[in-house]
Amino acid sequence: MVAPHVSPGRRRWTPATVGVAAAAGFVAALVGLPATVHAMGQPDELRELAADAAHAVAEERALVAIAATVEATPGLLAAVHARLADVDAAGAVLLTELDAAGAQLPGVVRNALSALAADGAGAPSDSTYRAAVAELLDLTTQPVRVVNVPVEPQGIGFATLVIVALMFVALGLTALLFTLRSARPRRELSALAWSDALTGLANRRRLDHDLRERALGTGAARGRHPVSGPTAVIMVDIDHFKDINDSHGHRYGDDVLRAVGAMLTREVRRDDVVYRYGGEEFCIVLPGAGDSDAARVADRIVAAARRLELPGGVKVTLSAGVADGTGADIERTLHAADDALLTAKRTGRNRTALPTPA
């Protein structure tokens, strides 16, 4: 399962990059050699790896939270630990691939992607997971852009070089202080903007962004699957969720949402993307799938929900609506799946439904 990458934007010259570029130019002038200033970006492969890694870290964070906070039955705990082992192994592989692609990863990312102990002990802190997701999402925002600006030696006098050197040192220190003060809030906002804080899944805002990208044929839509190829959508709703909240409280309801979110990520295919659509409703986008493929996934999800073991012996069921279409027209497919979900709920819940023929 993968998450699409954050919307790419124009590379901005921050105080830090200005300071680095200025220092590089000064050093070249000092030694009397031609210099080249590089505004480095990330290739598509690296952006895609960073996006996959961000989703893996977010899912591992959610699974660790479930294992630590939910008074789970042995069956649920075993399922969470099994999925955690798979996600952890995938994260370690992604770390190796990111290193091979030349990514300069900070320590929090390496810590979050490194393999856990065999018993799952020693997992990173929640703040480490959040910071790692933010760093990886930052990687996905870098466009490919390389600018070469030759700087020829001009025979500058030594006194002038000393003055320029002092100016660059002051600029570099100012840039460093500014970056240290502003980077953390920016990363936190980036992480909050694209992921659901309760479940760790991609959120509704992320889904809207991905729909626009697919409609335009840009970004992640140009990755593994053609935009015009088959794409299916499953809309999922927890049956009688209001009754669960009324009977057991909203904190218990939050535990149910986390458990269902973890189950959905466990039951979908590798390239499918799970979003929390809102409230107790989830959306799954299945690139390369027709309605028969999506119906099999939906049936598997509905059956897995019946087997979920929740504290107090509470049982939940799911209703699912399935529709298929093309990647370029995925928004219409989503509306069709939503109509099918209403059909599933009207006809008794705890089932999968396809769109009613017009």
pLDDT band at 18 (very low <50, low <70, confident <90, very high): very low
**Number of structural domains the chain divides into:** 2
Same domain, 309 and 246: yes
The pLDDT value recorded for residue 137 is 81
Domain containing 280 equals: 204-351
CB atoms under 10 Å from CB of 258, counted, come to: 21
What is the average pLDDT across 133-138?
82
Residue 357, domain member (yes or no) = no
Residue 92, domain member (yes or no) = yes
3-state secondary structure of 334: helix
Same domain, 173 and 253: no
Catalytic entry in 280, 281, 309, 331: 280
Q: Tell me: the pLDDT tens digits for 209-220?
A: 888 777 666 544
CA torsion 319-72-271-128 (nearest 10°) is: 130
- Catalytic status, residue 280: yes
- Residue pair 235/334 in contact (Cβ under 8 Å)? The answer is yes
What is the average pLDDT across 11-15?
45
3-state secondary structure of 182: helix
Same domain, 191 and 285: no
- Residue pair 2/58 in contact (Cβ under 8 Å)? The answer is no
Domain end call among 195, 230, 255: 195
The alpha carbons of the chain give a radius of gyration, in whole angstroms, of 24
Q: Tell me: the pLDDT tens digits for 272-308?
A: 999 999 999 999 999 999 889 999 999 999 999 999 9
pLDDT for 147 beyond 80: no
0.75 exceeded by pTM: no
Quick one: tokens of 101? 């692609």
